Amino acid sequence: MSANIIDGKAFALGLRERIAAQVANFVAAAGRKPGLAVVLVGEDPASAVYVRSKGKATVAAGMASFEHRLPADVAQDELLALVDTLNADPAVDGILVQLPLPGHLDELAVTTRIDPDKDVDGFHPVNAGRLATGLEGFVPCTPLGCVMLLKDQLGDLTGLDAVVIGRSNIVGKPMAQLLLKESCTVTIAHSRTRDLSSVVKRADIVVAAVGRAEMVKGEWIKPGATVIDVGINRTATGLVGDVDFAGAASVAGAITPVPGGVGPMTIAVLLRNTLVSAGRREG
């Protein structure tokens, strides 16, 4: 058996086209563009690449992009003051502070300073609480993109056994909440899980978000399962995911590649969250 390769790049492109059409309607009705402010602190090359592509995608969707670059040694108070300014700016519907921040800055303090109703990353504890209690809020972009791919692939997820490997606030925990909301039976596994292979073997859906190259082996996968690989690991041979792709693709029903799977979904969902925010704010 050979798995269906889930084309996240094509799905994300389609989503971005639909968003662009909705943005045009918003602009016609509201007389302004939805606006996304992205803050980059320091010169980390990977972060600079992400921020540039977020800005380009924002403009391509017809929205306003506000980029703020601060030096690596910026004081915490100065960064918080910028967040306050963006919170108060009516042209800004979404605020994203690119992580990781330099070590002297307190990421939690910065994340919690963002107005939860402009927190298009969904990282604010208020939004994590809203997700956990079923209230409307913002959901982190990567896990929401994964659920979109899963529903596109499988339709109704009710009753399926899902294993999420990884317990980060950004991916693992919100992913588990979203799958629970879809009525899956959800297991959260992590680096301390005993006998991970037998936990994975039971799963109809496997979401790997541990950040360890090719850690999930093909022989762990239940035949026909759907595998979503969130990992992006740079190795001597290039980019690889958290899943042994060749091994898993020979048993899975469907699998996301790395690159070209989950990655492109993150920016598309960020644009979606920004448009949703603009719509809510125009009310």
Nearer to ligand GUN, 177 or 266 (CB): 266
Confirm or reject binding of residue 266 to ligand GUN (CB under 6 A).
yes
Binding letters toward ligand GUN, positions 222-261, x by CB under 6 A? ----------------------------------------
Binding letters toward ligand GUN, positions 55-94, x by CB under 6 A? ----------------------------------------
Q: Which of 99, 126, 132, 180 binds ligand GUN (CB under 6 A)?
A: 99
Among 54, 118, 173, 222, the one annotated catalytic? 54
232 assigned binding-site residue? yes
Active site residue 76: no
Of all residues in the shown chain, the one whose CB is closest to ligand GUN is 99
The footprint of ligand GUN on residues 135-154 (CB under 6 A) is: 141
What is the chain's Cα-based Rg? Answer: 19
Q: Please name the residue ranges forming H helices in 76-219.
A: 76-88, 107-113, 125-133, 141-154, 172-181, 196-201
- Burial string for 65-85 (b: 16+ CB within 10 Å, else e) reads bbebebeeebeeeebeebbee
If we measure between CA atoms, which residue out of 149, 218, 144, 142 comes closest to residue 5?
149
Helix (H, G, I), strand (E, B), or coil: what is residue 77? helix
Q: How far apart are CA 7 and CA 164, in angstroms?
A: 21
Residue 1 in tokens: 């058996």
Binding residues for NADP(+): 166-168, 232
Which residues of the chain form contacts with ligand GUN (CB under 6 A)? 96-99, 121, 141, 266
